[in-house]
Structure 1
């Protein structure tokens, strides 16, 4: 009987065991079960109604007897409990489906964050726990239907088939959700990889421009370093156009390297 913890998002799976005989039904469980409590209260209220003076005097009719669960066999009580448990699976499956849809819309719209990966992992854990609960139940109910168990009357087999059909639908929904969350997981990593690639390309472009600028300034630094040595036998130092010549040389080297990089489409 799985229940969803709204605070943590984890799916708890308290176990319930049943021992069924022709005239008895024994349940063993360590946690309270809403389905068992409802059926217990139903049996107690109908037993009180059966024993009341009103029932004995005027309300005893064929319809009242048929509707009273106390006039059924123990297999019908088991069906009633299991039916309530299985019916609660559909709201849980719908809740997970809604969560998946919201997560898918957020990721595909480009508004994903790192917390979305945690949500994907959480939903995968929920579906795995849900599947580990419903699959064995489907198999057990199937054996009860097809094994000819004497504790299950032919009339009740029809009702157990209804539970079996519901479990098949729940399992199909779980498998569909597993496929969806797998696709969302792949889409998340694809989008994340694209973002990393785009960031890498931008970094590479910036590094390329910085490298080109550094390369352009290398010969300029060389020229400035040569004429900054101040040796006595450097004629350009005493030439009246020496300063203008060095500046024009630097501009020429800069333009030449810039045009070279533009032709190579590196800049």
Structure 2
């Protein structure tokens, strides 16, 4: 979302959405075919593995996929594999082979248009996907990123769609600092921590949208709104609708994780997931409130335009009412008849002007008493 300043002090907003055409290669392809659907990316996938427990941790940048093997189930070390880039089918397929992941799961990982969801595969691993929403620092455009997670007994694989910045760096910093509960808990808590980071970004986006709604509200109330105000309001409503479309399935995901007893989710993690569920509900409530506010502002703006039009029409009507009898008088004495005694009166011209002036004053007094202006 881009913010500019108009000539009347009204802030202008430009929102852009990334639109991806569904790949033509998808049409007719067999289920599980790995085809990337998303923004074009021109760099190689980066893979980083973080192994940790309460006592120690190691961070390794993976250059050979053969070294990114599945950890031993008996190990007490949590293995976090962070994959930055989902655009290379060969890389995603190799990771799937290493961890014995279902082909349909890998297909959802590479499809950035996949809606958020959670699925469990035979109790051996759990798959979750959702959308990260944020504003780009330079242009303040509202953008989204497709994220996927595979949770195993003692490992977690995270897939990021994006390109340059590591969205999960704050969680990695906590692991390296040995602070908080991340190092003392299993991969299910790590999944919660990453999802909590995503939900925290939802609040940041909402704060930004609230600020822009307040700016538009001030412009409308102060009658400083320009002609593009209607476009900005519709754009904000569309962005709120898209945001709700991305957040609502997250509520269903968390509800399913809380209701279904999965062996991969430990009882100690349930309270944190319940708190995360409450945060998502709060985000959805805020989205609905802002949508109602945007609708209200739209009604106020249209009412303001209607009142302005009514004021203009009333002013024009008053002028027309004043000049109508004057035009009638002028029309009568403008007729070319010889038998019009007033035309031969010496002071007839001044008398008619006086009558017209008195008539104008009387009509103005009448309109003022009726409070028509």
Name the TM-score, length of structure 1 as normaliser.
0.73
State the alpha-carbon separation in 1 of the partners of residues 367 and 272 from structure 2: 76
Give the equivalent residue in structure 1 for 2:18.
none
Pick from 36, 52, 68 the counterpart of residue 168 of structure 2: 36
Shift of 1:201: 1.2
Name the TM-score, length of structure 2 as normaliser.
0.54
For the pair 1:27 / 2:158, whether they are aligned, the reply is yes
Give the equivalent residue in structure 1 for 2:296.
183
Give the equivalent residue in structure 2 for 1:78.
191
Unaligned stretches of 5+ residues in structure 2: 1-131, 369-373
State the alpha-carbon separation in 1 of the partners of residues 181 and 353 from structure 2: 103
Shift of 1:246: 7.1
State the alpha-carbon separation in 2 of the partners of residues 215 and 242 from structure 1: 16
Q: Is the 8 A contact 1:120 1:181 kept in 2?
A: yes
For the pair 1:245 / 2:345, whether they are aligned, the reply is yes
State the alpha-carbon separation in 1 of the partners of residues 193 and 297 from structure 2: 38
Report 1:163-242 matches (<5 A): 163-222=276-335, 225-227=336-338
Q: Deviations over 1:77-111 (max 9, x none)?
A: 11111111111222221222222223222312333
Cα gap change, 1:211/1:23 in structure 2, threshold over 3 Å: closer, same or farther?
A: same
**Between structures 1 and 2, the one with greater strand share:** 2
Q: Is the radius of gyration larger for structure 1 or structure 2?
A: 1
Shift of 1:196: 0.7
State the alpha-carbon separation in 1 of the partners of residues 271 and 342 from structure 2: 108
Give the CA RMSD over aligned residues.
Answer: 3.5
Pick from 136, 147, 170 the counterpart of residue 16 of structure 1: 147
Pick from 193, 208, 211 the counterpart of residue 95 of structure 1: 208
Shift of 1:200: 1.1
Where 1:187 maps in the other structure, the secondary structure is: helix
Pick from 101, 117, 128 the counterpart of residue 230 of structure 2: 117
Cα gap change, 1:68/1:257 in structure 2, threshold over 3 Å: closer, same or farther?
A: closer
Q: Is the 8 A contact 1:10 1:122 kept in 2?
A: no
Give the equivalent residue in structure 1 for 2:220.
107
**Between structures 1 and 2, the one with greater helix share:** 1
Shift of 1:153: 0.9
Unaligned stretches of 5+ residues in structure 1: 47-63, 228-233
Q: Is the 8 A contact 2:151 2:157 kept in 1?
A: yes
Where 1:13 maps in the other structure, the secondary structure is: strand
State the alpha-carbon separation in 2 of the partners of residues 105 and 67 from structure 1: 43
State the alpha-carbon separation in 1 of the partners of residues 302 and 342 from structure 2: 62
* Matched length: 234
